[in-house]
Structure 1
């Protein structure tokens, strides 16, 4: 029976990964796994989920199988492990013939500590037979939310994992890891994999280094170009909902001299790989992508993620936004919100061939996305609460930093709430707004809604202003929207209190977007250049050499001896031997010129 040894775990953490302490939740998961307990780990993107199976793999005698959804994600992780001196391999559709069987032999003979495979492999009976000949101690399931139909990236092959893993004769321990699991999704994962209810480690969903922003009332291209010009040394991702919009934004940026490439499913596999490699190796500053550019991205120094169009769910948004700042440095997640994007998403759901239950779930997720965009509460807190947690206001999102005075809009809110009640809570936002405005459309007149007592009581307002107010009241939970193809507005207990004069409603005016400027650090730029030179020579990604966080730490500590260099975050013995002399020489030269 294996037992967790904390001294051994910390020694491995320092030797291979260059860290002195585990992040929150990591050691709790690692100890449970090493002690043979099936475990679910829920940690935010960038929280160090991969460490939760990589350290156990080094502590166990046998092989660790890692189920991973994308080839590109496997490759990045395998390259990173090899760079640290940890033997790892992968099996996917890119392996053929002799290479495939050689990898199987090496895994069988424990020449690897970790073997990455796609979930579809486990559905192949012949491959399952091969697994029976391997000394497997642990199965790690990355992006485990994919096995729940309540999740946003559901994949049927993931759903089968609960059936095929018990067939492995060595009876391996199972650890499932995800960043985006609501309580319902977490329950699905545990039931599917036979993980006991209390074997769940959740570190919270807050990303302390991410600043969330919701920007309204701007032309996306104008905002994007201004932002990129003030962040020209930084890597980032721009997400759009459609392939045509991705191409339009990418061409627009290229014409202005910005190194950008598009990425979407209509491109060939070779084109997508080339775009991803160019981004990974810092040959382009920006990738403009649909959600096809998703789980396979392991680039640590992404400083910003901009959504030019609104995603379909909080889960999708948080996972995509979480591509920024994986190295722990300050980064931004910006949503350029427009009502038209919600309408586009709703049209796609309407046209879906999915069953009614699935469509209802999608409508509900989209409504939560609308509420996020219209809340005046802390944006990070809103997201964390959506996932069933709680946190203090972040103090740095666009809402927390909004210093405008709040205005009392109780009377205007009462007008809206009263109209919803007068319409017997049978209509959605458009009809309610038209009645309040006093519109004389054919539908309003045919249904005799011009006879309702609240008809025209906000005629001085534009329809857009009324609809925005309704969105705000829904986001603030004075109203709720009934899920479905035709969402209707319903009064909440909180809204009822406003109607009775027991509670006031306040609201702030539209924000003004200000351009931010950052000053580059001279030494940091020199170390980045050195990292890029080495990466090009080795045909590897710069962030695999050192993360931006490691370079920043070098700039702070200015190490010039082996002992000092080992104290840099992310530096282990292998990194010291491979790169220490060159980086310490660059630091020494910088110190001489600045004395």
Structure 2
């Protein structure tokens, strides 16, 4: 079977992305498979293509209603029969759709995991020729994942009980080694049948901004990136409202999304963003898991998220079309206090809270690290990689200064305090604080008391954060993390290694433009965008479902003048040529004629 030929004929892509073909081959061989591919790597192709090549029904378990609708709309636009069952449709419509699946009219059925709570639905599935069950966002099944859902554990018990013995395919973008092992065990998938491609997103540029007014940064950045689509994540509903108001008052069209809004307003605002009516979405983490919008050019975290898993998943919503995009984190010390408060107020037990505090500590270490940001994230997920060469740390040209002596002071103080205290107490001892709590322990008698008195507590605290991020200090988990000296730190204390740190300097907003942008005919691109919008309004689907930005930019390079040439555009297959080809080809030919006439006139 020529899978690449099928890929081009059905979806319009010339080649598979890394990992896709291996997963599809295993699925077609009826091998239960776990696929771990980064956000934007095309996980949906891994079950959509087998669904069309096999004779039976493919069931897709998806966590969000919006995700189902987007995927079904995109499949239907491409001429692929798919439908969904969820709470947005009434009983009569649900019965009709189930009948379409039963009689073979519909090949792909999307459902939420909660649907398995219905005995009638289980009975319905048992009488279907189920050939494949695809589990999207599979990390939700693990209690160690950042988005654990008990409903995922509930349906897992049914997966191997269906008479047709369907193949199981679990897919996720964010899985630490611990979460991966959990998924394998719960779904009975062999490690040998797990396909991991690494977590690298080469088209994303990561950046951490510290010490800059967040409003000023947003204004500068958005002025330099006009009309680009992006998401700004905030930690609370109040913060979402504040940022949205600020942007609109400064003439940056923005809409909002959080759990405090009515369902109808959330839906209205989401559609305004998806359809490119409002380019900027300001949201809590309630927004995004089901968003397949491909032309998001930036994701800005207005405050620090709770975990690296959630950060990487949210940041990964930028650049799903493969074009260069930005992932920016604006950090302030108050972000940590807010996150600690949210964990403390959560309903989890002490074990859960300790786990969340540890994840938060790792997220904070990311903001303090001076190593490559992309590589830091890869290592968190148990992956390896070279420095990316384009994150804010890799591009940082500040001078690196020797801070070995100050480091030795900090490490020595931690040891003299018995390695039983946290950052605040250590910093206070080092600056010689008059805090009465310190006298209880007679810390004023330590040789390290006040030896960094020329620095502020904030400056010493930032140094401790740096030493923690770079693994010179170990930190215990829990609400009140305690410091101890690591083996790496011990080498520094013994004078075997030196420590270097960059000088303090405020970071300015990005102004760079990618070479990819300059190679594109932007005037023609804008005309094609307008044409795409006309089709989107007619078909009542988001514009990126007609063609991605990457496809439009490909058109400006190829300049197709007939159907065969149009087929060479990435993401264009026979169905889209038939539906949209003539209109887009005519627009390109007209543009060429106008450009030619202008040149002749000159």
- Whether these two folds match at TM > 0.5 is yes
Match of 1:397 in 2: 391
Aligned partner of residue 205 in structure 1, secondary structure = coil
Which residue is 1:236 aligned to?
Answer: 230
Q: Distance in 2 between matches of 1:147 and 1:548?
A: 33
Q: Which residue of 2 aligns with 1:251?
A: 245
Unaligned runs of 5+ in 1: none
Report the TM-score, using the length of structure 2 for normalisation: 0.96
Shift of 1:533: 2.0
Q: Is the 8 A contact 2:288 2:314 kept in 1?
A: yes
For the 8 Å contact 1:161–1:193, the answer to whether it is kept is no
Structure 2 CA distance for aligned equivalents of residues 551 and 350 of structure 1: 48
1:539 aligns with 2:540: yes
Return structure 1 stretches of 4+ with deviation > 6 angstroms: none
Give the counterpart of 1:26 among 20, 30, 33.
Answer: 20
SS at match of 1:12: helix
2:5 paired residue number = 11
Secondary structure class of the residue paired with 1:432: helix
1:585 aligns with 2:586: yes
Distance 2:219 2:64 in 1: 31
Distance of 1:491 and 1:461 partners within structure 2:
22
CA distance in 2, matches of 1:340, 1:433: 18
CA distance in 2, matches of 1:420, 1:339: 22
TM-score (norm 1): 0.98
Counterpart check, 1:222 vs 2:233: no
CA-to-aligned-CA distance 1:372-391 (integer Å, 9 cap, x gap) = 11111110000011001111
Deviates more, 1:298-307 or 1:514-523: 514-523
Of 321, 340, 343 in structure 2, the residue corresponding to residue 327 of structure 1 is 321
1:404 CA drift (Å) = 2.0
Task: Tell me if the contact between 1:69 and 1:142 (Cα under 8 Å) persists in the aligned partners.
Answer: yes
Q: For 2:554 and 2:502, how far apart are their aligned partners in 1?
A: 40
Shift of 1:517: 5.8
Q: Is the 8 A contact 2:221 2:509 kept in 1?
A: no
| Aligned pair partner of 2:142 in 116, 131, 148 | 148
Deviation at residue 447 of structure 1 after TM alignment: 2.3
Check whether the contact 2:217–2:509 (CA below 8 A) recurs between aligned residues.
Answer: no
Q: Does the alignment pair 1:157 with 2:151? A: yes
Number of residue pairs the alignment of both structures matches: 589
Contact 1:162 1:194 in 2 (8 A): no
Partner Cα separation in structure 2 for residue 228 and residue 275 of structure 1: 20
Q: Indicate conservation of the 8 Å contact 2:84/2:109, yes or no.
A: yes
2:585 and 2:176 map into 1 onto residues whose CA distance is 45
> Is 2:168 aligned against 1:174?
yes
Match of 1:513 in 2: 508
Unpaired segments ≥5 residues, structure 2:
597-602
> In terms of mean alpha carbon deviation, does 346-355 or 52-61 score higher?
346-355
Q: 2:432 aligns with which of 438, 462, 466?
A: 438
- Cα distance in 1 for partners of 2:6, 2:101 equals 22
Q: 2:168 aligns to what SS in structure 1?
A: strand
Query: Which shows bigger deviation, 585-594 or 188-197?
Result: 585-594
The Cα shift of 1:515 comes to 4.1
> Any idea what the Cα deviations from partners look like across 1:276-332, whole Å, max 9, x if unmatched?
100000000100000000211110000000000100000000000000000000000
- Cα offset for 1:41? 0.1
Distance 2:301 2:171 in 1: 25
In structure 1, distance between residues paired with 2:565 and 2:431: 69
Q: Helix, strand or coil for the counterpart of 1:165?
A: coil
Assess if the C-alpha contact under 8 Å between 1:231 and 1:517 holds in 2. no
Counterpart for residue 449 of structure 2 = 455
Residue 599 of structure 2 aligns with which residue?
A: none
> Separation in 2 of the partners of 1:514 and 1:147?
39
Superposition CA RMSD, Å: 1.1
Counterpart contact for 1:309–1:336, Cα < 8 Å: yes
